[in-house]
Structures are given as C-alpha cells and as structure tokens.
Amino acid sequence: MSRAGYQREYHIAVIGSGGVGKSCLTAQFVQGVFIESYDPTIEDSYRKQIDVDGRQVMLEIMDTAGTEQFTSMREFYMRDAHGFLLVFSITSMSSLEELRELREQIVQIKGGDPHVPIVLVGNKSDLEEDRKVSRSQAFKVSQAWGNVPYYETSARRRQNVSEVFVDVCRQIIRKDLSKARRDRGPERPGYGAHSDPRSSGRRKRRRQRTHDDYDDDRRGGRSRCVIL
Ligand SMILES: Nc1nc2c(ncn2[C@@H]2O[C@H](COP(=O)(O)OP(=O)(O)OP(=O)(O)O)[C@@H](O)[C@H]2O)c(=O)[nH]1
Ligand SMILES: [Mg+2]
C-alpha cells in the first residue's frame, strides 16, 4: 500500500486566553472565513482532512474555551490531544504570560515529556499599531520551551493560518515515526501506528463540523520563527 493510503487521525487542541482569536484561527483554517463578532467558546470541535507531505491526515481540532467560566474541560483536552497550538494575542502581554502556566500543565499531563508537539502562535499580527508583545519577547519564550516554533498569524488576513496547523502535524508525525522506529525497529511503509484507545467512544461534543478542503500551502517549510 502506498504511503498516502494510510490515514491517521490526530487531535489538535487550540488553547489560550479568552479573545485571543482561537476560534477565528480555527474557522479560517477549516472553513476559510473570518468571524468579526466575539462569541466566547464553550467547546467546539472540527474535523478536517489534509495532506501533509504526501500523507493523508484527519485532524480533529478542539477549539477550547479561554474564558475562565468555561475552562473546566481544559485538562481533558490536554490529555486527549496529540499536539497543541498555544495562542496569545500580540496586543496583550498577559495573554502570553498566561500561556506559560498552560504549557507547564501540558508537559506535566504528558508525563513530563518536554517534546510535546507545540506551536507558539502570536495572533492578530494585523494590529501592529496595538502591539504589546515584541517579536523577540515571544521568540524568547518559544526558545525557553525547547525551541518550539513561533509564528505570528492573522486570522483576519489569513496569514500563516494553515502553516501553524501543518507545523504541529509535522511534529506529531515525526514523533510517531521515531516512536515506531523505537518500538519496532526499521520503519515500515506508512508511519507510526497510532492506535489511541481514547479515540474511540469519545464523549459527544456540543457541536461538530466537517470540512474536507485541502490546503494549497500545506508544504510550507518548518521554521523556528515565522514572522509576516
Ligand atoms: N484584528 C484581528 N482581530 C481578530 C483576529 N482574530 C480574532 N480577532 C477578533 O478577536 C475577537 C475574539 O476572537 P475569538 O476567535 O472568538 O477568540 P477566542 O480566543 O476564541 O476566545 P474564547 O472562545 O473566549 O476563548 C473577535 O472579535 C475576532 O473578530 C485577528 O487576527 N485580527
Ligand atoms: Mg473561541
């Protein structure tokens, strides 16, 4: 069977403070739309199939709640997800600071693994005049987290939106591959068998949407720091 014949399902959680643009990034990626209004998320999940370097991947994207009153499910998402977009707004220093604790919580929940697939995302890059977090400040944080990639995105302008999702997918695939190599010796066709018992019988989420669009720019290179 060709490599592309194998399809894996990866769960990606989009995490960060309220109002930083998690839902807008997700909606841009999945549906290609920008949502102007602010409607705090309780929980949403989306499915989207993409091609990452010739591999068919089904993503389940968990758009999580940032506002305090709806964050009780955070730990569940952290356990469930294979990769994370940690999102702050470049217009709010506190939104970056709040990510530090969330990242620590993720690493702890993942058994102290310092190489959990993570991308640090500074959203709202179109609001340059309101910038409160400099690129170098954010980049330093990404380095302190073990050189995770840092991207600046604009959900409004659809800049670097696909790139952040593809980057975290590549990290998950790489991790799967190296785990498969460790577990079973030389690499087999396809890539790391990923049978996660948590994938079956998951509880029902409030709302689920499906979109099968493929991304044109899925082959964007992996950069440590990507600025518009
Ligand atoms: N200018 C600009 N505004 C944005 C951008 N992304 C999101 N917004 C706006 O920011 C507000 C909040 O966006 P959401 O995506 O709902 O924020 P969220 O992080 O999902 O918030 P919670 O669900 O409460 O955690 C909305 O009014 C969006 O239109 C962006 O890239 N640029
Ligand atoms: Mg939201």
Residue of 214, 164, 158 whose CA lies nearest to 34: 158
d(CA 108, CA 28) in angstroms, rounded, equals 30
Nearest CA to ligand 1 atom 7: 21
pLDDT per residue as tens digits for the range 152-187: 999 999 999 999 999 999 999 999 888 888 887 754
The pTM is what?
0.83
Ligand nearest the Cα atom of residue 67: 1
Sequence-distant (6+) residues with CB within 8 A of 57 are 7, 8, 9, 10, 49, 50, 51, 169, 173
Question: Per-residue pLDDT for 195 more than 50?
Answer: no
- The CA 124 to ligand 1 mean position distance, Å, reads 8
Rounded distance from Cα 24 to ligand 2 centre (Å): 7
Q: Which domains does the chain have, with CATH numbers?
A: 9-182 (3.40.50.300)
Q: How far apart are CA 30 and CA 212, in angstroms?
A: 8
| Residue with token string 């409160």 | 132
Residue 6 — very low, low, confident or very high, per pLDDT cuts 50/70/90?
A: low
Pocket of ligand 1 (CB under 6 A): 18-24, 35-38, 40-41, 65-67, 123-124, 126-127, 154-156
In tens, the pLDDT along 20-30 reads 999 999 999 99
